[in-house]
Amino acid sequence: MVDVRRHFLDLIRQDGVRLAPELAAAFEAVPREVFVPEGFHRRDGGWVAPADPEFLPTVYRNDVLVTKMNGDVPVSSSSQPSLMAIMLEALDVRPGMRVLEIGAGTGYNAALLATLGAEVTSVDVQEDVAARARSALARAGITGVRVAAGDGYRGDPDSRYDRIIVTVGVAGLSPHWFEQLTPDGLVIAPVEHAGHHPVLSARPGGPMTAAVVCSSGFMSATGPLGARHAGSHPPSAGELAELTEAAPARWSPPLKTTGYRDLWFAAGAWHGRVTLATLPGHLVLLDRDRTGGAVVLPDGSILAGGVEAERYTADAVTLIDRWWRLGRPSMRSWRIDLALDGDPAAPIWVPRGFTIERRET
Ligand SMILES: C[S@@+](CC[C@H](N)C(=O)[O-])C[C@H]1O[C@@H](n2cnc3c(N)ncnc32)[C@H](O)[C@@H]1O
């Protein structure tokens, strides 16, 4: 088992993640399989049960393990370990800190936090999920984690925290979290932007701004945390109408994943119709019928279709040129100004203004 988990650390590192010794030790110490005792869905949808020979090897891949579906939609999972590692590094947890996690899921991330020495409260909106996380933590012998069932929008009203980590995709940040943070506290949360959930970091006090930690794709939160707002991009689109090449490739080799995500982030900052086309899985400027528009591929070529194809192709060319002229800013170059929006009865801090602040490429 020690070898399996050492290999697991290598897989996490292969994704370009720098693991501090304490975090590496936590990944090595916590048995991920205990947090998926009934099994999980593979990416292809098939179910992997604990008795299957592929169970342990799959648990220790650097991949998401979906543990609960609602029809075709995943509603709970253990997130991708390399993403968890990046978020935990950004959280800057030190022993003795009080950490609030929104989205207990399997309880695995809470177990890592507790192993890093934090005192953890983890909230999940689904009671059965919270109950299973509690049992898994007990079976793994993890102490120092309290799991509560409830909507994470409210946070944990009677307590104060040094850190808040959100492990579900949100449309914005709850004002309650900022009230519950200590003055030098920090929130790390994946916040919807152009069909993805870039992970943002924000602090209480001062102007309400956020910085980008990394890109990610999470399942979306229920309740006020998932509310649409004035700046929401269109939801991801399914299959688009027939697309034909509207502009040729401009980059050979094509942009790598990080560069493509950087372009995507910038395009979303500058254009309200940018989102994810699930088929073919790329950046799209989606038309108002939601069946066509302009898809930008990693080599810079554009495929377009539908009645507004020309208009969206022109917009896509403008976005690509602008990003290129600015020196291909990384998503970490941006400062995001936040504004209160969403459900008026339960508002959230959503991205409103985007400014390139640092020259990171
Ligand atoms: C990706 S999973 C969390 C992964 C988890 N941290 C782990 O280590 O397994 C997302 C979880 O967020 C929960 N969730 C969705 N909306 C929520 C909300 N409004 N408040 C709290 N939890 C929520 C879901 O029930 C789901 O279990």
Is residue 220 flagged as an active site residue? no
Residue 197 CA to ligand 1 center (angstroms) comes to 14
**Residue ranges around ligand 1 (CB below 6 Å):** 75-79, 102-103, 105-106, 108-109, 123-126, 129, 151-153, 167-168, 219, 221-223, 225
DSSP state letters, 343-355: ETTEEEEEEEEEE
DSSP 247-290: E----SSPPPHHHHHHHHHHHHHH-TTEEEEEETTEEEEE-TTS
Ligand 1 atom 11, closest CA: 103
| Structural domain spans, the chain | 2-226, 237-325
Q: Is 70 exceeded by the pLDDT of residue 361?
A: no
pLDDT digits (tens, 9 = 90+) for 25-78: 999 999 999 999 999 998 778 899 999 999 999 999 999 999 999 998 999 999
Confidence bin at 16 (pLDDT 50/70/90): confident
Q: How far is the CA of 191 from the centre of ligand 1 (A)?
A: 14
Q: Which of 115, 168, 176 to mutate to test the pocket of ligand 1 (most atoms within 8 A of CB)?
A: 168
Flag the least confident range among 91-105, 183-197, 282-296.
Answer: 282-296
Summarize pLDDT for 119-151 with one digit per residue, the tens: 999 999 999 999 999 999 999 999 999 999 999
- 150 C-alpha to center of ligand 1: Å? 10
Rounded to the nearest angstrom, the distance between the alpha carbon of 293 and the centre of ligand 1 is: 33
- 276 contacts 196 by C-beta, under 8 angstroms: yes
Q: In degrees rounded to 5, what are phi and psi of residue 293?
A: 130, -150
Q: Which residues contact 229 (CB under 8 A, 6 or more apart)?
A: 171, 172, 341, 342, 348, 350
Residue nearest to atom 16 of ligand 1 (CA): 221
Number of alpha helices (DSSP H) and beta strands (DSSP E) in the chain: 9, 19
CATH number at 2-226:
3.40.50.150
How high is the mean pLDDT of the chain?
95
Q: What is the mean pLDDT of residues 269-297?
A: 92
**pLDDT band at 281, cuts 50/70/90?**
confident
Mean pLDDT (whole number) for 252-264 = 96
> Is the predicted pLDDT of residue 2 greater than 70, yes or no?
no
Q: Give pLDDT, residue 143.
A: 96
Answer whether residue 360 shows pLDDT above 80: no
